[in-house]
Amino acid sequence: MVSRTRTNIRLSDACDRYLERIKNEGQSDASQYTARYALSRFRKAVATRREPNPLVHTITPEMMDDYCYGPDGIRRDVQAVSFNRYRSVLKVFFEYALLMRWTDVNPMESITRARPDMPKKRLYLNAGELITLLDHASNPVERIACSLGMNTGMRGNDIRHLTVFDASLAGGVIQTEIRKTRKLDVKPITMELHWELVKWLNIYAEYMGLSDRGELPGEWLLVPSYRNAAPRERQQRVHLRPLQVHTNPWRMVQRPLERMGYPTKGEGFHTLRRSSARALFESLRSAGEGRDHALMVVKEFLNHSSVVQTEHYLGLNQERAIRDTLLKDRPFLSALAEQEQARVNDEKRA
């Protein structure tokens, strides 16, 4: 049997070949997106000035260990769930590279799965705090972005891709593509959001030199990217870029949160999303709705696929609450022993 020689191939070409392969295999859009993001992040990390696009076979286990666990490794920046997802992508990618004879070893063999992180305490804002947040926005773009987040429950990635056409004030709805699931949805516009949109679209038109909000092109982004004006430019606080999406949309939430005195690390549109969802759930429960029905309504508000996901997202756990009620500051084994002894005595008397 004649052994095949190794094929020299650059990392970028290998990644493109692999992504094309999983696409042709029919893997889901979510799996393809995760693989594309994980490989893109890896390519940027291993690129150097001397070798911006290394050959696949030159990537060693030591390099992968440093990429994952080094001083600037990804494990320091991401939670265990995300790390294990990236690890899985890279492991399968190098298995494919080994099969294609692009490398002689799988450098991911020594990289083990990360243990689950300790539960992180989430920031929840009540309805009053959400309203107050709007007053701490530094400009109209931040304000409308936060208003959209708290009134619709949309993710930041969906909000930053909304267009003027998507928001129908006359119809009272916002149509959106949920980019995580590739599904279309039509969200109702609340009364508060309606007036925020009216005010914002008037400002938008004024900033762009238009006489009326009706002249705004439908393809322009509803929440455009912007840059702050120079100190000498007093007439306009921000310069809008109506066709350029935000690269870091979470900062539009973190800045007003910081002004309110809240911690901002790891916070963003998901903070608004889960806070408004929790407020909706508590409102439904206060109105006499059953727990299961309230969860179903909030599930649709968040566009979740299951109630279990919604329950976890809201920080609710019925069984844990029952456990805490039964055990905290109460007798446990001694009470069970007394119950068992009482049962035995009843059997003897019978």
Tens of pLDDT, residue by residue over 259-287, are: 999 989 889 999 999 999 999 998 998 88
**Region class of 127: left (phi > 0), else alpha (psi between -120 and 50), else beta:** alpha
Residue-level pLDDT at 198:
96
Q: Is the CB of residue 222 less than 8 Å from the CB of residue 163?
A: yes
At 55, the pLDDT band (50, 70, 90 cuts) reads: very high
Q: How far is CA 65 from each of CA 10, 44, 99, 106, 258, rounded to the nearest angstrom?
A: 20, 16, 22, 12, 36
Unique residue bearing structure tokens 């109209």: 140
Give the CA angle between residues 4, 9, 11 to the nearest 5°: 135
Residue-level pLDDT at 323:
63
Total-model pTM: 0.68
Percent of all residues in the chain with a pLDDT value above 70, rounded to a whole number: 93
Q: Tell which residue, 162, 179, 269, has the closest CA to residue 222.
A: 162
Q: What are phi and psi of 52, to 5 degrees?
A: -70, -20
Q: Is the CB of residue 182 less than 8 Å from the CB of residue 29?
A: yes
Pairing of strands 225-228, 238-241: antiparallel
Residue-level pLDDT at 333:
79
SS3 state of residue 252: helix
Helical H segments across the chain, by residue range: 11-25, 29-46, 61-69, 80-99, 127-135, 140-152, 156-159, 191-207, 251-259, 269-286, 291-302, 307-313, 318-327, 333-349
Q: Which CATH superfamily is domain 127-312 in?
A: Intergrase catalytic core (1.10.443.10)
Q: Each residue of 18-40: pLDDT tens digit?
A: 999 999 999 888 889 899 999 99
Q: Each residue of 116-146: pLDDT tens digit?
A: 877 677 888 999 999 999 999 999 999 999 9
SS3 state of residue 32: helix
